[in-house]
Amino acid sequence: MASSADDTVADQDSDAPAHAPRTTSRTEYELGTVIGRGGMGEVLLARDRDLGRDVAIKRMRSSNPSDDAIARFLREAKIQSRLDHPSVVPVHELGHDPEGRPYFVMKRLTGVTLENRLRTDALQPLLHAFTDICRSVAFAHSRGIIHRDLKPANIMLGEYGELYVLDWGLARVLDEADDVAGVADLASADGETRTGEVLGTPGYMAPEQLRDAASAGRPADVYALGTILFEILAGEPLHERGQSALASTLTDIDHSPARRGTREVPPELDALCFAALEPVPENRPSAQSLATDVQAYLDGDRDVAQRRALAADELVKARAALVANHRAEAIRGAGRALALDRHSGAAELVTHLMLELPAGDHPELHASYADADAESVRRHAHSSFIGFAAILAFMPIAIWNGVRDWGVMGPFLALCLVLSALTYGMSRRPYRKSGEMIAYFFLLASAIPLACRFCGPLIVAPCVTCLIAWAALMYPALLRRPFLVVGTILVAWLAMPILEYTGTFSPSWEIAGGQITTWSSTIELDGNSAIAAVFGANIVTIGIACFHGAALARANMLAQRKLVAQAWHLKQLIPA
């Protein structure tokens, strides 16, 4: 039969084989060029003269086909017409040409095959197409039909989102006892079909279909879908082309696209592909399940993929900021990366930034340090103010005993008043320069030699000296200068005993006869009032020590709890 535009295919009833369905004689078609050719048939472009539409006509290639070949050809048309689905090409008419060969008329398709689109399209549109393929196959499975020749060349993609699963010639109907005996199609290396011993296309057939095509069920189509998904993800076929694919199919090869291909494969899709290619048919998911899972990836994990890309970009910027010593920018970038994708690797960077003390100069961090130092100054200045207030409250008892030397008592009282005023001011305005804190410390240390003259250097004075050292080291500016504090304190305490020992000042202590004797050169110590003064001085000293100790312990406890709470929150933030 010629393929010119003037040639026609007309339905003939009289000469049709006995097994042919009844056909009509009203329709004539203008035949065009051959647009597809397979093992048994070929597809021509045609024009339906009556309806004025372009159609496609599939007819048998052989001029003298066998009855079995004709039966299979007609069976393909019936199966295709049985599947009323948007992704299955509708059959308009079934008939016979003047030579008695069957043909069937289908909708004319425009587009390209998935085989061609695999080379050009991005992952997302290919995955969308794949879900449509899976749904089409799932529909066929629900009607008891197994395709058995799914491959990219048998998938047509239109320009407007249409998708069609082609070539149902090897389909198996599960409610039929057997396939037509003696006929099988095998795709050759160039993609055409030829008569052979197995049904299907090497490289896309499931192992069980290769062993026994007649018993291949729904899992065989799922395996073929897995090979298509593998090719989409890995960018290369699962099996080599041609006859070598037969041996490869029966070999336990690595069927993970993430490990086999050169592309980065989402782990979810890698797992789905791996499951669809399970050697044991019963372990494969259904076509509908495969479609649902891939669609779930597209609907939800598509956003995850975008977040992962954004997280990776933020993480790169954060690490670059850390190298450039821009710590604030680094922690913000790492936090954004962690919020976008908790598995991005940002957790380690966040942990490092939060728990490791930074090296180098960080002006923004120093501002936070200054705030923390100011809070420490405020808290400890308040405690010191209470201590000096307690000392001033004790002074009337000391004066009540009688004053021997107002040259010591007067400056001591004045110093306590000044220190009380200073500590009160620091508790109200805690932001102080280091120079101010050092000046305050020297003024505080000057109270030590006065205390030595007040009550002797060997009894109460050492306790007062320790309290002064303790109070000084609570201030961050002085804590950063421990040698200055310790050296000044020791000099201030030793100065008076040495001056007394050398005769510069009158002595207030003596070691003789196995005894240590000390007395006050400033106040009178005699009678009940002296007992009250001594015990009062010790009570005040112990009370101030306990008060300062409690304040320090409370500050340490709060700091520890803050660290514990921070670590706990960080643990909730960082993935396990």
Catalytically annotated residues: 149
Q: Which of 149, 137, 273, 134 lies closest to 210 in space, CA to CA? A: 149
Residue 322, token pair as written in the block = 């850390």
Count Cβ atoms within 10 A of the Cβ of residue 172 and give its class: 0-12 exposed, 13-18 middle, 19 or more buried. Answer: buried
CA distance 453 to 497: 9
CA-to-CA dists, residue 87 to 63, 137, 288, 329, 439, angstroms? 31, 9, 15, 52, 89
User: End-to-end distance of the chain based on CA atoms, in angstroms?
Assistant: 72
Residue 245 burial by Cβ neighbours in a 10 Å radius (0-12, 13-18, 19+)? buried
Question: Cα 403 to the chain's mean position, in Å?
Answer: 76
Cβ distance 150 to 55 under 8 Å? no
Which H or E element spans position 226? Answer: helix 218-234
Closest CA to 215 of 178, 245, 170: 178
Whether 409 contacts 523, CB under 8 Å: yes
Q: How far apart are CA 83 and CA 81, in angstroms?
A: 5
**CA dist., res. 455 & res. 404, Å (int):** 12
CA proximity to 447, closest of 478, 472, 423, 415 = 415
How far is CA 558 from its chain centroid?
33
Rounded (5°) CA angle 482-487-490: 125
- Single-letter residue type at 111: G
Q: What is the DSSP string of 5-45?
A: TT-EEE--STT--TTSPP--SS-EEEEEEEEEE-SSEEEEE
Q: What angle do CA 548, 554, 557 make, to 5 degrees?
A: 140
Indicate the residue type of 177.
A
The pair of structure tokens assigned to 94 is: 């079934």
Identify the burial level of 317 via C-beta atoms within 10 angstroms of its C-beta, where 0-12 means exposed, 13-18 middle and 19 or more buried. Answer: middle
The answer to whether 119 and 235 are in contact (CB under 8 A) is: no
Closest CA relative to residue 138, chosen from 202, 218, 71, 84? 218
Among the listed residues 283, 154, 129, 135, the one whose alpha carbon sits nearest the alpha carbon of residue 207: 283
Pick from 146, 149, 86, 157: nearest CA to 115: 157
